[in-house]
Chains A and B, each alone.
Chain A
Amino acid sequence: MKLAPRTYQIVWDAHAWVGVVASLLLHVMFFMGAFALFHAELDRWAEPALARPVAVERTPAWPSEPSLLPAAALRPTPMPKLQPLLQQLDFERPLSGAQRVAFIAEAAGLRAYVSRDGAFTEYHYAPSSGTLEQAESNLGSFLYSMHYLGPLPYGVWIAGLASMALLLALVTGVLIHLKDLLRQWFQFRPERVARTWTSDLHKVLGVFGLPYQLLYAWTGAVLCLGYLVVQPLFVELVSGGNERALAEARGDFGAELEPTGQRLQALPDIDALVATAERRWPSLQPTWVGLEHVGDEASTLTLYGDLPGHAFGAVDLVLRARDGSLLAVHGLEDAGVYRRFEAWFFGLHYAQFGGYGIKLLYALLAFATCAVIISGNLVWLARRDPLRERRGQRVLERVTVGIGAGVVPATACAFSANRLLPHALHSSQSSWEQGVFWGVWAAALALSLVWHAPRRVSSVALGLGGITWLALVPLELASPTGAFADPLERGVLLGLGVLGAASLAAGHYLWHARAARPAPAAPLEASLSSSAGE
């Protein structure tokens, strides 16, 4: 299908402008998204003082699992006895009055958090000592929060708007190439000038990654803005202000009780409560156990778990903490259409299926999407101002280099900071890691703004990031703790090694890539007809 010239040009302009305005935000979100997929593993890796989780033989979730990613690391580790951990936390600081204590079983091990008066304290379980230890680093969680721009003011709103922009850019991109979508799938000419090969790269990776990008644009917009805008509006305009009616329509019968203020004499027996839930649902594998309004008479225990053999099959149960009575069960057979849809919708976003094979594929597609986004900016520059005669285009080029390439060494240096910080600074480790991240990124941006050859800055930034990641591999191999014996450590190091090599190769390629040549100015009619055929 071919669009009329006017329609084509308007859609092309919308695609270009929306893309260039949102590009760098989206680049950061997708780049960080690759790390967010492994945030639990990275959080565990970032705490080398902790003993490694005990390997448990399980069936691989993905048949072609590489041997460096063992089956034991694919599924959440089984929950240990939780009562001693609850008592440990209560001994260190009485839990009565805390809003929530949660235990989360992940492939990387068990972690826990206590939420109290708006503050959030995270712990990791050390199997060797059988205790919880407060997290010093939150490298994985920090990179995860950067995925939705959480550390920035109004970051979630900005991330939501960027997701909407991506949705619009994708739809307009498809409209532009409806006539030749199949050709754009395969046409890549790296020997040509920058204008051609960046355009080819943009279209090839864009078409290949289209379903993935559409999924993330839609789910990202819903995750960031759905709960902030759509839900409150629906409460007012669909259910007449009756929040409960809307929740029930969604299939959420909300068994959580309001706190009464009456205090219980002792902590509940959390293991007995979990056992009650497991008796109710024998095939359940608990992955999340949360005690709400700890110490209150109306305290409840919420338990989520996976049902093996069901795609996105999850069960959640709510029990009264005081006596273990069952308040609510939501399983597969009584889950309504809304809950099943959301289980798939968000399950696909969070890659809650297929084990590490799917996560690696998602990460690869995330980096490919970064290439689509940055090459889009390069196409813009090559088409509109190949000689960079206008100040605005020069700034765009330099900011694209500073933010787009600068985020690579910034992230790599945050990893290095985790390993190289002196022991005396470990009490403020997460602040140092984040400080190094922002500092290196700001330095890369500043350098790109002042250096006479910004393309060289992008090569240097990618090369520096690559070398920093690669340097971690021998550093870890020489580590006296012998951490390389651990499967999780091996997996993370393999990932960092591949990332390092890829960054170095990209930096090397950009250093030698041919620069853009000026294109002759074309009149409107010729421009429209050639664009339509391009």
Chain B
Amino acid sequence: MANPSRRQKLNHSAARTLAALLGTIPVALGVGVVLARALPLTPAWRVLLGAYSVFPVWVALAVVVFLAPSGRRAWLGLLAALAVLGGVALSFGGLR
């Protein structure tokens, strides 16, 4: 088991772990939706890139969020990203 100084240095916390593993899922889905709605490509390319980017984006986000200084910062960052993605998605029309 890790000793206290190591824990303090790495600042592992349940909040940051949950943010990295679960909080990143809606953000990755949001990135996929934004790509599918906003990319200046044909519908087939937009849907392809949007749908198939979700899992690679999730992994990248999870690694980055694990490195956040604290759980609070991690969650705030994710919420901010989700808000930005929502705004971008709403400003582009989807498929009809």
Contact = CB atoms under 8 A, between A and B. Distances in A.
B52 A242 contact: no
A337 B45 contact: yes
Contact of A164 (B9, B32, B58, B67): B58
Contact of A234 (B33, B56, B63): B33
Contact of A238 (B6, B59, B94): B94
Contacts of A172: 63
A14 B44 contact: no
Interface residues on B, range: 35 or more
B68 to A, nearest CB: 10
B44 A168 contact: no
B95 interface: yes
Contact of B6 (A168, A230, A345, A524): A524
A338 B96 contact: no
Contacts of A485: none
B95 A341 contact: no
B51 A226 contact: yes
Contact of B95 (A167, A168, A233, A242): A242
A345 B54 CA distance: 15
A425 interface: no
Interface string B57-96: 0111011001100000000000000000000010000111
Contacts of A238: 33, 36-37, 47, 50, 94-95
Contacts of B60: 171
Given A10-B10, A239-B96, A234 B47 contact: yes
Contacts, number: 107
Contacts of B94: 237-240
A251 interface: yes
A251 B33 contact: no
Interface residues on A, range: 35 or more
A168 B5 contact: no
A336 interface: yes
Contacts of A527: 6
Nearest to A246: B95
A471 interface: no
Interface on chain A toward B: helix, strand, loop, or mixed SS?
helix
A11 B59 CA distance: 12
Contacts of A14: 20, 62-63, 66
A288 B19 CA distance: 45
A230 B10 contact: no
A233 B29 contact: yes
A245 interface: yes
B40 to A, nearest CB: 15
Nearest to B48: A338
B47 A246 contact: yes
Contact of A222 (B37, B52, B63): B52
Contacts of B51: 226, 230-231, 234
A377 B87 CA distance: 44
A221 B52 CA distance: 10
Given A13-B12, A222-B52, A246-B47, A240 B96 contact: yes
Contacts of B42: 337
Interface in A197-256: 218, 221-222, 226, 229-231, 233-234, 237-240, 242, 245-246, 248-251
The 3 lowest CB-CB distance pairs between A and B, nearest first, are A249-B43, A239-B95, A524-B6
Interface of A: 6-7, 9-11, 13-14, 164, 167-168, 171-172, 175, 218, 221-222, 226, 229-231, 233-234, 237-240, 242, 245-246, 248-251, 336-338, 341, 345, 384, 390, 523-524, 527
Given A11-B67, A218-B56, A250-B47, 4 more contacts: A6-B10, A9-B9, A249-B46, A341-B52
